Amino acid sequence: MNEGPEGFLFIDKPEGPSSFAIVSAVRRAFKVKRVGHGGTLDPAASGLLVVALGSATRLIPYAPLEPKTYRFGLRFGLRTDTLDGAGTVVESGGSVPARDALIAALPSFCGNLMQVPPEYSAVKVGGVRAYRMARRGVPQELASRPVSIRSLNLLEFDEAAGEALLEATCSGGTYVRSLARDLAQALGTCGYAASIRRTALGPFQVAAATPLSDCTPGRVRVIPSGEVLGGMARIEVGEELKRRIFDGRTVSFAELSGGAPRSGGIPRPGETPWPAGSVLAVDSDNTIVAILEPGAPGHYHPERVFNRSGESAATGSPGRR
């Protein structure tokens, strides 16, 4: 395989294949060695999956992929071992709550919460994935983890069928299956996520994503990394600064301000404060040169560096990879 294209694909994942299987399919189709994704979707879930190709895999941590929005069906009265429709029923006979009771319970699940992941999850327990232990029938106790749920709304409720359709906007690391379990328990019954669909990652919507069947060269546009990181502070650097950055050397505010700030980029010192976070350095062709991070007072250091062909070059500040 050669290096192939660089950039991002926004895929509408169907139910069935795992995120890993889709990454493998993209790798074969585009003949790219390096492929990664920006947030796993369970095989039983569908919706927006962001896949990075080539050197764009190193930019995934900087892509604006939060908050995450999901629509999910919560079926009351039953619980499965996986907490979704792919599992085996392990509890039954639970009641169906009244609509008013369900609506009244939703606000208590908004904000910063502690959540216990599902037993069938990729969380590691003693270095082993929880789902591997669950498949072997090994008892496990998963620690709760902090999550943030910005909103949780009821969209539809079919009391006769015992199922509600809800929409949650939440932080990364939130398990919708756990949310369905916990909400049902709070209502004095049991339940599981009968369906899960991710509809948004940050500003990116599933409505604009490409069906998996169309994600082949010539049928889908690979979105340049610069577009995906369009909201990130950026500044143009000349050839001399570019060479220094390629060498992993620190650059000062004063040197960077000599460049031409782009729209939404860095103002000159003295006008407004410089951004405290990451900065995207680009060349005159708007090609990404590096991700710069604040270092010593008045300076930035190269954290992710890309050479002319888009391949990863040296990184600054050893130990911060």
| Residue range of the domain that includes 179 | 68-201
CATH number of the domain within which 98 lies: 3.30.2350.10
- In this structure, the answer to whether residues 179 and 291 fall within a common structural domain is no
Give per-residue pLDDT as tens, 77-117. 999 999 999 999 999 999 999 999 999 999 999 999 999 99
The verdict on residue 318 lying in a domain is no
CATH number of the domain within which 278 lies: 2.30.130.10
- In this structure, the answer to whether residues 36 and 80 fall within a common structural domain is no
- In this structure, the answer to whether residues 38 and 106 fall within a common structural domain is no
The verdict on residue 254 lying in a domain is yes
The verdict on residue 310 lying in a domain is no
Total domain count for the chain? Answer: 3
The verdict on residue 57 lying in a domain is yes
- In this structure, the answer to whether residues 245 and 216 fall within a common structural domain is no
The verdict on residue 317 lying in a domain is no
Give per-residue pLDDT as tens, 123-162. 887 788 877 887 888 777 888 999 999 999 999 999 999 9
Mark whether 182 is an active-site residue: no
Question: Cis peptide leading into 146, omega within 30 of 0?
Answer: no
Sites in the chain below the pLDDT cut of 50: 1-2, 259-272, 309-321
The verdict on residue 272 lying in a domain is yes
- In this structure, the answer to whether residues 40 and 92 fall within a common structural domain is no
- In this structure, the answer to whether residues 209 and 158 fall within a common structural domain is no
Q: What is the pTM of this model?
A: 0.87
From the list 42, 158, 182, 214, the catalytic residue is 42
